[in-house]
Structure 1
Amino acid sequence: MTATAAPPTSAPVGALSSRRLLSAIFALLGVVMAVWGSRMPAVQAAAHLGPGQLAVVLLAAAAGMVAGLQMGGRLAHRYGPARLLAGPTIIFGLSLALLGMCRTLTSLCLVAVVFGIGHGLLDVGANSAAVNLERACRRRIMSSLHCAYSLGALAGAGLAALTAWAPYHVLFATVGILTAMAAAAGLPLIQSAAHLDTPAQPDPTQHDDTPQLQPRTVWLLGFLAAACLLGEGAAADWSAVHLHTLHASEATAALAYAAYSAAMVAGRLFGDRLNARFGPTAVARAGAALAATGLGAGLLIGSATAALFGWMALGLGLSTAVPSLISAAGRGGPRAVNAVAATGYLGLLLGPAAIGALASLTTLPAALALPVLLAAVVALSAHRALDSK
């Protein structure tokens, strides 16, 4: 789907309410994922799962997500991404509530697949709708929408920490049901937000289904998204462990991911303004260079303080990259967004395991050079993806 070139104009009627709606959906996605991840040890203990069995549950959720991403790309292309907002959010929320009721490996795997499918469908719908709304508004908004996700994740992690004394199934049921209710309540707003499906007047010289990206560009966007999301997975699973190996206290080690997340929120909060002023290519390259040098320096210095600042630099540096890659994928329609998201999530899902395998062969600091090297690749290659057709 193409858009005619036009001078910047004021946002179309209803665009502000649509932006608030999408921000809420991104935030809910972050809350649910953070609540699920933060109480994972309680889920493991209640079902008496060993590490290998827990890995099977996570693999089931990942498989469901990949299936949801594949289905979502086709559905968004045929019916429009707005159709993938309310229903998948309801599925996502209710499946979280059901996960709190599961006490066996089999039941956890079955519900985790549904949870992953809802996540994948919602991810494609929200990102494709965001691309359309961004084009309708003729201004950069993707970074702020992903900022809403990061804020939701921080809120969810904080909520899980504050309610750690309570049974986890109560938290899962409360958050899950409220999420489903919020999606149902927002259905009239979703149905009335036409520009979530149609960003602007189509170019009469082109067909709506004509791809505007070469396949090699889509794959490059996906590879760079995977490189960035591998860094996110590394921060989530290994940052605290890294500081612990440097003899940091438990409290300081726990601050590592919080510092990374806070830096990412700050970067995404100002990312749209930076992209509008300097262009997404320059911002993505500079940010990735900051990520590589910051975390690299933290690994080389080898102190807890340097490592903490290194993880902050990684979060700040990579904060605008994935939103810019998703926006660029939007030139090829929902299927391109789906392909980039699916490839990107491979980095998030497989990256921490790869780092663990490398750490078992070498050392953890040496293994953490992987996200440093990939951030450097993003810095060197972003222009080829973001400026290509």
Structure 2
Amino acid sequence: MIQFIENPLWKARGAISTIFFCYGLTFASWASRIPSIQEKFSLSEAELGTLLLMLPIGSFISLPIAGYLVAKWNSFLVTRLSILLYLISLIAISLSENIFLLGFVLFLFGLMGNMVNIAINTQAVSLEKEYKKNIMASFHGMWSLAGFFGAIIGAIMIGNEVILQYHYTIIFSASIVASVISFKFLIKSETDENEDKPIFAIPDKPLLLLGIIAFCSMMCEGTMFDWSGVYYKKVVNAPKDILGLAYTFFMVSMAGTRFVADYFTTQFGVKKVVFFSGVLNFSGLLILILLPGKIISLIAFFIIGAGVSSVIPLVFSLAGKSKTMSSSVALAAVSTMGFFGFLLGPPLIGYLASWLNLQVSFSFIAVMALCVTILATQIKSNSNS
């Protein structure tokens, strides 16, 4: 038992899982208080949508920066620095007293979030190579689990009228302690032979394909994060006391499926798992749009959660094994496209809902899910590991 605990691979896996959890908890803490921020600054839906655009802009700007820094300094250093700055930016959100300062801080929040995203996924890819088997989905399961707990904590804070500064200070304090403890167990050097690969390069066709799949899938995921409760309320007409079930069914399904996704990938291969995930996602959204009943909608949210769960871990894992550029740069390209979709989806749905209606706007997300299914057929069939 002691040898098991002392195994450096298990220590690294625990440390990387911890950073994923803190990363997810921080983002969920921000997202859970969006209504509080909207109320504080008296923002309309369109104004809120514009404000939310600052995150994907920051994320997009970080693309060349993050890939370069991880390739140049290695993910060990960038992970430690970026998670600290990401946590500090969460505190800065709560201290912003005007909309312009908040917009700038959200830009930094998006930029640092993608830095963490690229650096910690590079760590995960390196460890996966050491394990010589699929373990990426379990790390993303920790992110999802943190998102679930972050939403619950946020709901409790709102219910007890805890101000934003106190809420975010609690999250910051717990996450900073956990992150710092895990730092010394992170992988200190990548196994990737990056010296033979360019730091800057235009993504080739396979990487571009993975990036588009990530974009479509994470747009669905981001929409569920911010709009599932609103949809359940306004379209399904669910009573107030069960509105949280929509998000809960989605998150429980997504987190749970991620913890078993590595097994199914080993059994059936990446191509089949991504294809079937797209089918599940599209089917769930179709049910949600066409049959918006209280019970069947919860089943649909559960199906959607299972559909989006495996796509991102698998495409990130494939990107990290790129033979044309370093792992960090390949991950930067693919993960930034995905994260951009994740952050762009919610404000886009807000705009579409204001022009049309929420139910019709979700049809656009269903098209994104269908794109995942179609594009999955183009993944190289030898990408099974």
- Fold conserved between structures, TM > 0.5: yes
Partner of 1:59: 53
1:318 matched to 2:308: yes
Moved more, 107-116 or 25-34: 107-116
Say whether the 8 Å CA contact 2:137–2:310 is kept in structure 1.
yes
Say whether the 8 Å CA contact 1:151–1:265 is kept in structure 2.
yes
Give secondary structure in 1 for the equivalent of 2:122. Answer: helix
Quickly say closer, same or farther: Cα 1:69–1:241, change in 2 above 3 A: same
Give the aligned residue type for 2:218: L
2:106 paired residue among 109, 112, 116: 112
Partner of 1:217: 206
Partner of 1:198: 191
Partner of 2:262: 272
Matches within 5 A, 1:1-389: 14-164=8-158, 165=160, 166-190=162-186, 193-194=187-188, 197-198=190-191, 207-209=196-198, 215-244=204-233, 245-332=235-322, 333-387=327-381
State the alpha-carbon separation in 2 of the partners of residues 48 and 85 from structure 1. 36
State the alpha-carbon separation in 1 of the partners of residues 111 and 277 from structure 2. 32
Partner of 1:6: none
Query: Displacement of 1:213 after TM fit?
Result: 10
Q: Scaled by the length of structure 2, what TM-score is found?
A: 0.88
Query: Displacement of 1:367 after TM fit?
Result: 2.4
State the alpha-carbon separation in 1 of the partners of residues 358 and 199 from structure 2. 46
Give the aligned residue type for 2:281: A
Query: Displacement of 1:122 after TM fit?
Result: 0.5
Give the aligned residue type for 2:178: A
Quickly say closer, same or farther: Cα 1:252–1:301, change in 2 above 3 A: same
Give secondary structure in 1 for the equivalent of 2:261. Answer: helix
State the alpha-carbon separation in 1 of the partners of residues 232 and 163 from structure 2. 29
Give the aligned residue type for 2:182: G
Instruction: Map Cα deviations across residues 220-269 of structure 1 (whole Å, 9 max, x no partner).
Output: 11111111011112212332232222222123332111111111011101
Say whether the 8 Å CA contact 1:67–1:120 is kept in structure 2.
no
Say whether the 8 Å CA contact 2:33–2:154 is kept in structure 1.
yes
Quickly say closer, same or farther: Cα 1:212–1:116, change in 2 above 3 A: closer
Give the aligned residue type for 1:220: L
State the alpha-carbon separation in 2 of the partners of residues 352 and 114 from structure 1. 19
- Structure with greater contact order relative to length (CA < 8 Å, sep ≥ 6): 2
Instruction: Map Cα deviations across residues 32-84 of structure 1 (whole Å, 9 max, x no partner).
Output: 11111111222333345454554444233332222233311111122222222
Query: Displacement of 1:289 after TM fit?
Result: 0.9
Say whether the 8 Å CA contact 1:294–1:311 is kept in structure 2.
yes
Unaligned runs of 5+ in 1: 1-9
Say whether the 8 Å CA contact 1:134–1:140 is kept in structure 2.
yes
Give the aligned residue type for 2:94: G
Say whether the 8 Å CA contact 1:217–1:388 is kept in structure 2.
no
State the alpha-carbon separation in 1 of the partners of residues 353 and 184 from structure 2. 50
State the alpha-carbon separation in 1 of the partners of residues 75 and 163 from structure 2. 36
Give secondary structure in 2 for the equivalent of 1:331. Answer: coil
Say whether the 8 Å CA contact 1:211–1:331 is kept in structure 2.
no
State the alpha-carbon separation in 2 of the partners of residues 212 and 115 from structure 1. 26
Quickly say closer, same or farther: Cα 1:53–1:216, change in 2 above 3 A: same
Give secondary structure in 1 for the equivalent of 2:191. Answer: coil
Quickly say closer, same or farther: Cα 1:337–1:57, change in 2 above 3 A: same
Instruction: Map Cα deviations across residues 350-376 of structure 1 (whole Å, 9 max, x no partner).
Output: 223333444445443332122222222
Give the aligned residue type for 1:120: N
State the alpha-carbon separation in 2 of the partners of residues 83 and 377 from structure 1. 36
Give the aligned residue type for 1:111: V
Give the aligned residue type for 2:255: V
State the alpha-carbon separation in 2 of the partners of residues 69 and 258 from structure 1. 32
Query: Displacement of 1:141 after TM fit?
Result: 0.7
Q: Aligned-pair RMSD on alpha carbons?
A: 2.6
Query: Displacement of 1:137 after TM fit?
Result: 0.9
Give secondary structure in 2 for the equivalent of 1:246. Answer: coil
